[in-house]
Structure 1
Amino acid sequence: MEFKTKAIIKEILEPFNIISCVYEGDGGLVYGLKTKKYPGNQYQVAFRSELDALKMPSSNIYHGCGHDAHTASLIAYIAYLQKIKFQEYNILFVFQSSEESGNGAASIVQELVRRDIHVEKIFGIHNAPEISVNDIAVSTGQILANNYTNRLLIRLNQDKFNNLGELSVLEVLVQSIQSLLNKGIYCQIGELTTNGQTGIHADYMCLTLSFRSDKQKLNDLVLNFDELINILKKQTGVQDIQVENVNRHWKIKNDPVISKRIAQTGLFNVLEIPESLSSDDFCYYQYLVGQVCYLFIGSYASEKKSTIHSDSFEINNDFFKQIMKLYIQVLQEA
């Protein structure tokens, strides 16, 4: 839904004759740099940035995860390639929507497949406000976590409830979540709303339920979620449950050769990507591309302005200098 963001990107990139628009739609924007050496639909390298924002608890719509910084730096990189008149090989630039919610990478992959576009290598570079701008974090093999998040609409029949009403549904949710924690599955309830009022029970509940794990497989998260839904459907007073998938992410598998090359550049202090409950729909590009590499570059600003996914998030301006060095180095190593 970030129409203004897309319009700004288009306006800035319009004068650059080194690129042309490959795709524009709900999935975002994709531009291609084509050379005479490779006249077909084969792109040797692709870069993904995200253009989506988040609705904060304050109700502000805000790029509180630094996606605007990712977009800005990729635009700057295109400007750099225009300046040096780069013509070595074909490059794809992806400005993708719906990374935070909606599996946006899946729609981009579908569009590229439909256009018979082939990509050999793709890079996803994300800012990391917990580490210095002199640091990058990159690892070989599987990274990040599996994530299965759904939006639930639970319709209630108050005539069949006891005095607890919709609270009995929440009680079952809490009990189930506690048992899942023992299995190594982290659960989070978000966007919880009802049409209940003071003295009046609700006849529906709407919430998001997120299952994440860096240990359990994605299929295990799906099975546990389905089991929980079946338990809830059997509860007295639950009339119906509608499920809408929000995110379905699996662990990203970094190419070992590319990851090692980037780690050995000598331009940055290199860290390993730690185990975490973070996930990213960048995993969908593995359907399209033979070699993928997802890494982090530091964006630490200060104690008060480095909390990601918050209204106070602010990028360190030195991030832009460092990521340009990284882009240039990545292209050489790729």
Structure 2
Amino acid sequence: MNKFDAESSPADLIPEIVANIAGIRDLRRDIHAHPELCFEEVRTAELVAAKLTEWGIPVHRGLGKTGVIGIVKAGSSDSAIGLRADMDALPMHEQNSFAHASRHPGKMHGCGHDGHTAMLLAAAEYLATQRNFDGTVYLIFQPAEEGGGGADEMIKDGLFELFPMQVVYGMHNWPELPAGQFAVSPGPVMASLNTFRIVVRGKGCHAALPHLGLDPVPVAAQMIMAFQTILTRNANPLDNGLISVTMLHAGEATNIIADTCELAGTVRTFSNQLLDLIETRMREIARHICLAHGMECDFDFKRSYPPTVNHDQAVAVSRSVMTRIVGERQVLEQKATMGAEDFAYMLQKLPGSYCFIGNGSGDHRGKGHGAGPCTLHNTSYDFNDDILPLGATYWVRLVEACLPVS
């Protein structure tokens, strides 16, 4: 199963995990064929809970509505570690036609959460059998990462009070990395996610008589262009931020100037300080441009996922474990991305790290895959089953490093 790129060093995989990986692969494909959206992961949660119970692992249900916690204890230490995998799918129509393609139109595991769940299950089976550690491992199977904030909901339901742990770790497959490689770095690695909606309120009229109305469209256009000056003229040029107007709507007929023009989009930053600046300036720009044209606007700004910020010591542990498994050359610096991840909520509460595991370029996909690339949130994507034992081995060795037997 160690089918990695030719240039990659052979991975030091756990033999027992490799021997049992066919069953885990089948689980992964079963989950892929039955995708469930955020907070609807009933079947997936049942499958996870059933497998954990089969392996003698106590299970707690219901955190974050459909979340599952598995509890594996060994030895007498009070130390504890959390390992998190997300379970939800995306509202996408899958273009693949292989045997395990989605059986539910409009729902797809287009981000690999089926693989994340499978890797943690493979690790759970080994940990429950061998228990070569001293302390407690909390296996966190989380719902609703894709926009639902499932991590935050689990925390609100008492995740860290009911299951006290000192550190928490997350992992995501990454198609930009060859299979057989990892990437991890301290500090911000994923951006915050925030949305805005602005309604410019003008006065509709006949398009042939514009002087009788107040056209909101050119006002919205000025607003869009002015927003970009926030990053180039108000923010420190060394601070990374992104303002994207992704929706614009006005009018219903070609010969009518609309009463209103609505624009919406996202703001992404790696720091709350820059986010504060952007929100303040966007409000000011929107208001004053409207006033200059005799109009008003409704401005709504919603803060969603915070930045995902890795902790130095946890990253050092992750990197050491990865190096042991695949060699130093295959452990890369993690390039920060403007994508968002709700594991950020957990890292706000506890030390931890969030790493990437290479998923390859798509050559692993069998006959029947779609014509698109094997990238995240693409309708032709599929998780690389060849990396299942690698991810599971990482989880196990991480537990052994954090909870060593004295």
Q: TM-score range by the shorter chain?
A: 0.7 to 0.9
Q: What CA deviation, in whole Å up to 9, does each residue of 1:295-320 have, x standing for no partner?
A: 11110143753222221222222121
State the distance in 2 between where 1:43 and 1:30 align.
21
Task: Go from structure 1 to structure 2 and tell me whether the alpha carbon gap of 1:147 and 1:52 turns closer, same or farther (over 3 Å shift).
Answer: same
Task: Indicate the structure (1 or 2) with the bigger Cα radius of gyration.
Answer: 2
SS of 1:280's partner is coil
Task: Go from structure 1 to structure 2 and tell me whether the alpha carbon gap of 1:266 and 1:239 turns closer, same or farther (over 3 Å shift).
Answer: closer
Query: 1:171-250 residue pairs with structure 2 within 5 A?
Result: 171-181=222-232, 183=237, 184-190=240-246, 192=247, 194=249, 196-199=251-254, 200=256, 201=258, 203=260, 205=262, 207-213=264-270, 217-234=271-288, 235=290, 236-250=294-308
Pair 1:282 & 2:320 matched = no
Counterpart amino acid of 1:259?
S
SS of 2:118's partner is helix
Alignment correspondent of 1:147: 192
Alignment correspondent of 1:328: 396
SS of 2:173's partner is strand
Query: 1:275-314 residue pairs with structure 2 within 5 A?
Result: 275-289=336-350, 291-302=351-362, 304-314=372-382
State the distance in 2 between where 1:203 and 1:164 align.
8
State the distance in 2 between where 1:260 and 1:328 align.
14
> Higher strand share goes to which structure?
1
What is the TM-score normalised by the length of structure 1?
A: 0.82
State the distance in 2 between where 1:260 and 1:322 align.
14
SS of 1:308's partner is coil
State the distance in 2 between where 1:263 and 1:325 align.
9
Greater CA deviation, 249-258 or 267-276? 249-258
- Report if aligned partners of 1:172, 1:232 keep a CA contact under 8 Å in 2: yes
> Higher helix share goes to which structure?
2
Task: Go from structure 1 to structure 2 and tell me whether the alpha carbon gap of 1:180 and 1:98 turns closer, same or farther (over 3 Å shift).
Answer: farther
**Structure 2 unaligned regions, length at least 5:** 1-36, 95-104, 364-371
- Report if aligned partners of 1:48, 1:95 keep a CA contact under 8 Å in 2: yes
Counterpart amino acid of 1:22?
H
Alignment correspondent of 2:168: 122
Shift of the alpha carbon at 1:129?
0.6
SS of 1:52's partner is coil
State the distance in 2 between where 1:104 and 1:252 align.
19
Counterpart amino acid of 2:277?
L
Shift of the alpha carbon at 1:112?
2.7
1:80 to 123, 126, 145: 126
Pair 1:252 & 2:252 matched = no
Pair 1:91 & 2:133 matched = no
State the distance in 2 between where 1:172 and 1:196 align.
18
- Report if aligned partners of 1:109, 1:287 keep a CA contact under 8 Å in 2: no
State the distance in 1 between where 2:312 and 2:283 align.
34
Shift of the alpha carbon at 1:193?
5.5
Alignment correspondent of 2:86: 50
Shift of the alpha carbon at 1:27?
5.5
Pair 1:7 & 2:43 matched = yes
Pair 1:262 & 2:321 matched = yes
Alpha-carbon RMSD: 3.2
Task: Go from structure 1 to structure 2 and tell me whether the alpha carbon gap of 1:186 and 1:7 turns closer, same or farther (over 3 Å shift).
Answer: same
Counterpart amino acid of 1:11?
L
Counterpart amino acid of 1:316?
N
Shift of the alpha carbon at 1:86?
6.9
Identity of aligned residues (%): 18
Q: What CA deviation, in whole Å up to 9, does each residue of 1:274-325 have, x standing for no partner?
A: 2433342322223432x31211111014375322222122222212122122
- Report if aligned partners of 1:105, 1:284 keep a CA contact under 8 Å in 2: yes
Q: Number of paired residues?
A: 326
Pair 1:158 & 2:165 matched = no
